[in-house]
Every structure is written in structure tokens, then in C-alpha cells.
Structure 1
């Protein structure tokens, strides 16, 4: 978690400007090839529903041509017949009935079409969110160590949510308004081609201005989503149990609130900019549309003076009615155009994640894992360097080689940062070796199916992760089909069953976020029970007891000894007292294995292990 640091006004102001410039640079929408066609492809699975919706839109638009023509007929044949005989009530009544029928049918079709497009839009949005989640699940561990959780959450929630309205209304709005505009133009031309020119002469100018405004809104939208990502990240960091505890421990509640307030102020400013960026444009559009009727009247007067006999009162009334109806779909198209341009920036951010390629994948034709060799683990001159490290720095692992037979208990010890944990991560292929070969059951792990490989490996880390769910739910994460008897058996092996039964709700006890309602030792033993249910051939223990007190360590160590029976164990340890019984101990220093042997052999040798053992013995428990 970042902490707010004080500083002089000058230096602080410069730092804030630098951060603002960096955020603006990061907020630029990524360049995604064929973005528009890829967005349209999202609708492909629902082309049947879309086709029906488009047919309904076309029918509705075709029907919309009738009202202005019926209006003209009502005036010229019903109210003011050409023979001057007075209103013709029979003509007027059937015309009014026809107009009513048109509106009833048109609105009924509109409701049906709106339901179809809403259904398609929401399903497309759901598909997009599911694809994005699945893609993120497939990414390698390194992606998540270099990306804030809040930023990832923002892509799933804010970015997909930002395009939701566009997805829901794009087809109905675009198709419906385009067809309505075309139908209105046809009606206008049938009534008077001269007045039609007057009505549409400024349309090209509006399209040019709209495109410029859309580009501006797209840039602002990208900055807005970047700010939302930062706010989500701050929330995730600061309001988690660990974050709140850290802030309170150092008295930084005010600083965290100030950090959130600063980003919230930026978000407000961006939202205001986005809301106002199109207002002047639409004000200009409204003025243009308002000027059209007076212009039509003036031009009509000149045309009548010039001898245009076809411009009757009914024609003028019908034309201005159609022109008024033309303005709304035109305005809708322009609004949708701005929304689409704005949404394209968000679609680009979504597709940026959808286009991520996991660096660790299963081969097209994976090799089978031989059951008789389960538990064999071998490193052959393995070197590894984390992607974000400086190439000039020494590698994390350098030419590491060792071999374990099924059922062997191997411990890896050494100073902090020596590379012990990395060895444990390379076995299940959470990271990929830079060079050399990691073998599992005699096969190169790169030639095995990643999911099958992981199914044979259990990991117990220092920080046992539990979901905000019941103890039973957390245990069944390893084996969803596990019976209550199997849960109890696993818990007994992990030395936690009696503790669970002392809780009022037993196995139905909700553990809280990350298991904060439990002690460290209790969480760790539940994690061990979960691994026991998985029943792996290889067990990786990543300093599983280093954060526990002596009593909890003793309980957890007893549970680990039980779950380790009959399995190959790679135990990354800091406390040497927990691994003295290991079959073989590898001493790792600066990425290399510098010693190996049993506890007594290494102590007798007087090397690094002996020094570490002497140091720990000198520290009272």
C-alpha cells in the first residue's frame, strides 16, 4: 500500500504534475486493429434475434411514412377539400382511424423490438464479461504480480459497464433511426424536393462537427476509465482487512482518505468534462433544427410567388410535421454516434485484455503423465530470471540441479532472497524456467497439460488464503464432491477437527474475509486439510509455519507431517527446526545450491547450513 509522503510545495506540485501527466499518458486508448469489426462480431451468436429485431425496425420505419401522408390527406381531402364544399367527414373519419391504427401497430412493434434488442445487448455484455474473466484466469502468475487487483476489477466492472448502454441500444437506435430518417426523407421528397434541400443543406456540417466532438469524448472517456481503475485499486487496497489494519497501525487513515479524495476530485472533473463535451454541439444542432421551419416558410412563400401550385396548405403542414419527426432520429443518430465513438475507447481497453496471450500454456498434444512415476521431480541446470528484473542483475536461480524420487522429503533452506520459493513455483509451472529443464514424472513440464500437472501438486503457502465463506465451502474448493465424512477425515488429519467442532456453527462457520475470524494456525490447518482432500502426489510447502508462534507451529507441523506421508515433499523453510527430519536438505544461496545432505551431515560439514543452524539455536524460542 502506498503511503502519502509530505514535501515542500514546489517539489510536491511538480510531483503531482508528473503523476497527472503519467496518468494522462496511460489513459490513451490502446490501438486495436479492426476494432469496429470485432465489436460487430460480438453480435454474431445472436444474428437470428438481431435479424428479427431489424425486420421489426424496418416494418416500424415503413409504417412511419404513412402518418405525414395521412395528415396531408386529412387537410386536403377531409378539412379543406379542393372543391371548396366544406369538411368531408367521411374522409376525415377513415383517415383519423387509419392514423390511430398506424400508431397502435407501430408502438406494439416498437415494444417487441425493444425487448429483443435489450435481450441481445445484455447477452453480448454478459458474454464479453465472461470472456474477459476467462482470459484473466488463464494468465500466468507473473501478470497478477505486476498488475493491481483494483485495475483488473475495473476492466471487468467499469469498462464493460461503460459500454453496456451502447451494446443494449446500438442496433435498435442505429437501424431504427437510419430507417426512420430515410423514410422521412422519402416522404419529404414526395411532398416537395425543393423544401427537402432547404431542410438538409446543413447536415454535412453537423456530421463533421459531431466527429470532432466524438474524438474529444473518446479521449476523455479513456481518462475517466483510467481514473475509475485507480479509484477501484485504492478502494481494494485501503478497505481490505489488511489495508485498514495497516492504515490504523501507522495512523494513516487521513492520508488514505486524502488519496481517495484526490482521485475522486479528478474523477468528478473528468465526468463534468465528459458531460459537457457534447452540450455545445447539441445546442448548435437544436438551433439548426429550429431554423429549418422558418426557412421552409420563407422559401415556400418565394416558390408560391414563382408559380409553384403544388405547395398546398396540407403539403406545408405535412412537410413541417415530417421535418420535425426527422430531427429526432437525426439527433438520436448523432447522440449514438458520440456514444459509439466514446465506447470505442472502452472497447479498446477491453480488447487489450482479451488479446493478452498467456506466456504459460499447455502444448497442443500434451504428453501423458505415467502414474507409476508420479512423485518424481527433477531440475536439470535450471536458471530463472523474473521478467521485471534488470538484465544486468544476477538471475534468481542459476544452474540449479537436483532429483527427487517418489515419497522423498526434500527441504530447501538459505538466506532470504536466495531463490528457495522460486524453486517451489517452477515445479507446478506457475513460472517458466528461463533455461534448463524441470521434469515431473520424467517428463518436461512444458510438454504436459498444465491443468493435469497442477492436479498432482498441492501447495501450502505462508499466507493461507480462505474465501469469505463457510469452513465446509473452503474445504470443498479442493474437491466439490467431498462428503461430510471426507471433510471431517481431512480435518482430523490436519489436526483441526476438534477446533472446528468448538465453533457454534461447526463446519458451517463463516470464516470472514481471508479467514480473519480464525487464528493464523487455524487458517493454516484448514489450508492443509484442503490440500489433503486434493490428495496430490507432490506437496510444496512454502514456509508454511514461518509466521506462526511456537505452539501453533507445533500443531501445524504435526498436521504437515501427517499430510506429507507417502508424498514427495518440497519444503521451503526458514526455521531449520521444522526440517531436521528431511531426507535431504538443499542449501540455496544467491540462486545456487551450495550444499546438500542430511541435517547431521550438513552440521558436521561446517558450511552455510551449520552457520544458519548455529544462529537459530542461539536465539531463544
Structure 2
């Protein structure tokens, strides 16, 4: 089953997500949504069958005690002969006790199966959502707050946990109980049953109105939770805390969170109170029905006696009927609450399915091929008249790249330089197909990257960025992210190549040293060299260096540059650089301005040309 998890539904690209949300809010498709929710349970049909069987048996057993109660009164306590019939009474009481014991045992088994199915369905939903988000293009994550994404995984999926865990058994069990109770009531007295059914249409109509109101509140509550998660993620990250402290904005950040928290409290209170008056009225009405039954029973008996007829209503009938009717109170209330929960959860499921319906903008072609893994083709990078505009850019703005063409042969070292915003970083992103060219062709190993399998393409390309990401884990764990089964000797080898082994060995815990959130326990140069060691462990054919030393001081830059020089050996290397001193020995330098390549040549050739490169070099020198 595809990421949408059941039911044919138009797919939506990440760039069209906001428009789709607007359409969904205007025209909710409840039947289709309910069908998609039902498909979540398909892998657990066998367990659901067991639950249904247990529920049916429990419900059937549930209507026996009231019928036995009638027999206790009419045959055991007050038989026609007058004196209580103790043998009959003992047998009936024993049967009732046995039924209670069996029902309790079945309830325990049913609870276990229900919990297993509900939590496994929720786990499947969470993993599928996470997996689908992993497949989304990079642009989706640059447009969406991390906290909002986290909220979908945690708050939205967690919000439907109770519905997934309890709905099936509750709906089936309570429905069967209600139906069985009505059958028992009809068997006892059809006249009294009509009285008990008078309120049903009113209750159904009221429940529907309350459910619609709760669904609206639930949707707004989840939006508020998403915003709170986004604020938390932004403000309590190491970078966020550092920024707040250096600008003395802690109070402002606290107030921003407190304001959203006040909104959340108000919504939670509204959600908790929605329907409470309705349920209080329902409970009063249902609780008052027995008194009405007594009154109607008395009137029917009096009328029949006055006419010399038998009303067919005995004391046992009245006691049994009111017992059955009382047993209807809880299942009917439970069914109404489940119906409200389902209406509320639709808003959460709709939010989850919104993400699952997103179609990644960059996907493998049906006949995607493997890139060449060996020379002479492996390591060749070529752009042919490439034009690129970011998906969320205004149509009337100039493209980020415009008619860019170049070719890099295996083993060459080329550099792209230029002012900030010139488009050079975008070139590095298009090579591993993190973004898709708007027009033109990007080739790797002689093939259009759109015809290559993405994962195989990425296996041959390594990227070192200006701000490398390190996990809150040990140095060894961070290195093994590139090769999980790497031996300790391999870690040491790449660390030596990256000029970081001696530094790691000097730490108290060596390679088991925990680097902290985003590597904040390390210096910038240490983080960068660990990132270089990690990419060397991957052993790519092409190395893309995106401003890899621009954030470092002069001393760290020299150390990291030596590591990069070693890392380039035998690889095609493409450096995106701001500091020209790091690329003076490149085989070829491309100068990028306003999305176009305006100059190219070696360092010496460009200096002799006396153009933009020479001017930029003179400024930096």
C-alpha cells in the first residue's frame, strides 16, 4: 500500500500544500476520510475478528442477567405458590454469578487485543508518516517549520491514539449491547419499549451538533499545538537560546510562548466543556425514564384491571425492564461519546492525511538506472544550459541560475566563486539532485540525473557544508552515520586523513566523547574536520565543498584546508567558495554573477584577465 494508506486520492506536491489545505477546509470529504481511516486496520483483520467475537459473546451474556432477574422475582422470590422457591432461586443466582465471572474474563482478553491493535495501528501510522516525510524534497523542509512537522508526528498522531485503541471494541460492544437490550425490552413489554424510545431522535440530533462544534475546536487546538512546538524547537535549541541571551530576548521569547499557551489553555477548556451540557441533559433524561416506566406501568395495570384484563406486566417484568433500561444508559452515553470522538478525530486524521497526500517533487523515474560506479565515467559532472528558479519564488523574479553550462572531468578540482546570492550554492545542490533543474540537463557519469536512482546517485556524492550537522551522540556514532558497520580502524583512518585523530585521542573518552547538541561541545574547526572524516568514510566519487571553511578563523581554516586537500585526492571535487585563498590551486575556477557564469579559467588566467575575479581577489588580499 502506498503512503496514502488506502483509497485512491489525488496526490499533492509539497509546493501545492497550502492550496490543498485551503481546498480541504472548504470541502471536507467525510465518507472518503472515514474509509481511509478504516483501511488503517486492514493488516489486523484477524485480531479484529477475535475482538468482534469477544464483543459479541460479551454483549450476548450482558442481556442474560436482566432476563434472569425477571425469573428471580417471578419464579424464585414470588412464585405463584407464594413461598420462595429456594432451589430455583439458588440455580438462578448461580447462573448470574457465572455469567458475571465469564464476562469479566472476556473483558480482560478483549482489552488486551484492543490495546494491541490500537497501538500497533497508531505505530504504523507514525512510522509511515515519518517515512513519507523522509522522502520529501529538501525544499519542503525549507518552507515548513520543524516544530510544525514534529507536531504532526507527536500531537496529531498521539491525539488519535484513544480513538484507534478504543473505537472498534466500544462501537461494536456498545452497539450490540444496545440492540440486545432493546430486543430484551421488546420481549418484556413492547408498550414500555415505545416509551423508552421517544427520546432517541432528539439525542441523535443533539449529538451531531455537538460533534461538529468539537471538530472545529479540535482542529484549532492542533494548530495551536503546532505553533507551540515550533516556538519550543526554535527558542530552546542551542542556537535559539544563544541568540535570545545575546540579544536579551529571553523575556520576549517567554511571552511569545505564554501567549500561545494562553490560547491553548482556552481551546483545551472549550474542548473539555463542549457537549457537557448536552450530556448532562441526556443523563437526566435517561435517568428519569425508569420513573416514567413506573408511572406508565401503573397506569397500564390499572386500566387492564379496571377492564378485567391482564396487562401482562408483573413486578418481575417491571424490575427486569428498568434494569435493562438502566443498562442502556452507559452504552448509549458511550456510543454518543465515541461518535463525538470520531467527529473530533476526523480533524486530526485530516491533518495527518494532508502530509501523507503530499507528493515529493523529486522522485525516481519508473525506469531509473544505476549510475556508473567505475571510471572513466564515474565522477563526471556536467551542466547543460541549466536554468533554476526556487519553487516558492515569485514568477517575475530573475531565476537563481540562468543558462549555466560546464563540465567537470573525473578527478578534477573546480571551484565556483562569486558574491552572496549569485547562485553558486544552488549549483552544489543540483548535482546530487537535492533540487530539480527548471530546465536544461544536469548529468552525472554521462546520464541525466533525472534518469538515475536517487539513493544510488547520493552514494557517489559527498557534501561538506559550512555548518555541518552533528547528532547529540558520540564522535564514533557521528562518523558511523556514513557507514554503520565501520570498524574502529576505519574510523581512525579517516580521522587521520581529516587531521582530527590526535584531537579526538586527547579527549578523556576518545571516540566515545559525546559532542552535545549539534556538536556545540566542539570548536568550529573540530566539527568541520569530523564532518570531513565522515564524508571520507562514505568514500564518494564526487566531493562537494559548500563554503566548508568560510565560518572558521585563519588558524582553523588552515588546519581544515589541509584536511580538505587530503580528502580531494583521487576524487572529483567541486568547491563553492567565498574565500578565494582556498581555491587558488583549483584546475578551473568559475565566477558566478546573477545566476550566470561570467568568467572561467585558472587562478593565474583569471588574474591576467583583470575582470571580476581579479577585483575580488585584490579586495580579499
Q: Structure 1 length normalisation: TM-score?
A: 0.94
Structure 1: runs of 5 or more not aligned:
1-23
Q: CA deviation at 1:27?
A: 11
Deviations 1:252-288 (A, max 9, x none): 0000000000000000000000000110110111111
Output the aligned Cα RMSD.
Answer: 1.3
Q: CA deviation at 1:32?
A: 5.4
Residue in 2 aligned with 1:406?
410
Residue in 2 aligned with 1:446?
450
SS of aligned partner of 1:207 = helix
Distance 1:188 1:43 in 2: 34
Distance 1:116 1:82 in 2: 47
Distance 2:198 2:296 in 1: 13
Residue in 1 aligned with 2:564?
560
Residue in 2 aligned with 1:220?
217
Residue in 2 aligned with 1:314?
316
Q: Does 1:285 align with 2:282?
A: yes
Q: CA deviation at 1:29?
A: 8.9
Q: Is the 8 A contact 1:29 1:346 kept in 2?
A: no
SS of aligned partner of 1:306 = helix
Q: Is the 8 A contact 1:29 1:349 kept in 2?
A: no
Distance 2:290 2:110 in 1: 32
Residue in 1 aligned with 2:246?
249
Distance 2:575 2:550 in 1: 12
Deviations 1:28-76 (A, max 9, x none): 5984571100100000000000001100100111111210111000000
Q: Does 1:204 align with 2:201?
A: yes
Residue in 2 aligned with 1:345?
347
Q: Is the 8 A contact 1:30 1:352 kept in 2?
A: no
Q: Does 1:612 align with 2:616?
A: yes
Match of 1:471 among 475, 488, 492: 475
Residue in 1 aligned with 2:264?
267
Deviates more, 1:288-297 or 1:45-54: 288-297
Q: How does 1:112-511 map to 2 (within 5 A)?
A: 112-307=109-304, 308-370=310-372, 371-372=374-375, 373-511=377-515
Q: How does 1:457-606 map to 2 (within 5 A)?
A: 457-606=461-610
Q: Is the 8 A contact 1:27 1:226 kept in 2?
A: no
Structure 2: runs of 5 or more not aligned:
1-20, 305-309
Q: Is the 8 A contact 1:32 1:348 kept in 2?
A: no
Q: CA deviation at 1:82?
A: 1.6
Match of 1:48 among 46, 71, 81: 46
Residue in 2 aligned with 1:4?
none
Structure 1 residues 188 and 230, CA gap change in structure 2 (3 angstroms): same
Q: CA deviation at 1:26?
A: 11
Distance 2:194 2:600 in 1: 91
Q: Does 1:98 align with 2:95?
A: yes
Distance 1:235 1:48 in 2: 42
Q: CA deviation at 1:309?
A: 2.8
Q: Is the 8 A contact 1:602 1:610 kept in 2?
A: yes
Distance 2:335 2:287 in 1: 18
Q: CA deviation at 1:367?
A: 2.2
Show structure 1 runs of 4+ deviating over 6 A: 24-27
Structure 1 residues 53 and 72, CA gap change in structure 2 (3 angstroms): same
Q: CA deviation at 1:398?
A: 0.1
Distance 2:533 2:103 in 1: 64
Q: CA deviation at 1:368?
A: 2.9
Q: CA deviation at 1:305?
A: 1.7
SS of aligned partner of 1:393 = coil
Distance 2:73 2:510 in 1: 82
Deviates more, 1:374-383 or 1:293-302: 293-302
Q: Is the 8 A contact 1:464 1:523 kept in 2?
A: yes
Distance 2:195 2:370 in 1: 76
Q: CA deviation at 1:294?
A: 1.2
Residue in 2 aligned with 1:20?
none
Distance 2:169 2:590 in 1: 67
Q: Is the 8 A contact 1:32 1:352 kept in 2?
A: no
Deviates more, 1:154-163 or 1:291-300: 291-300
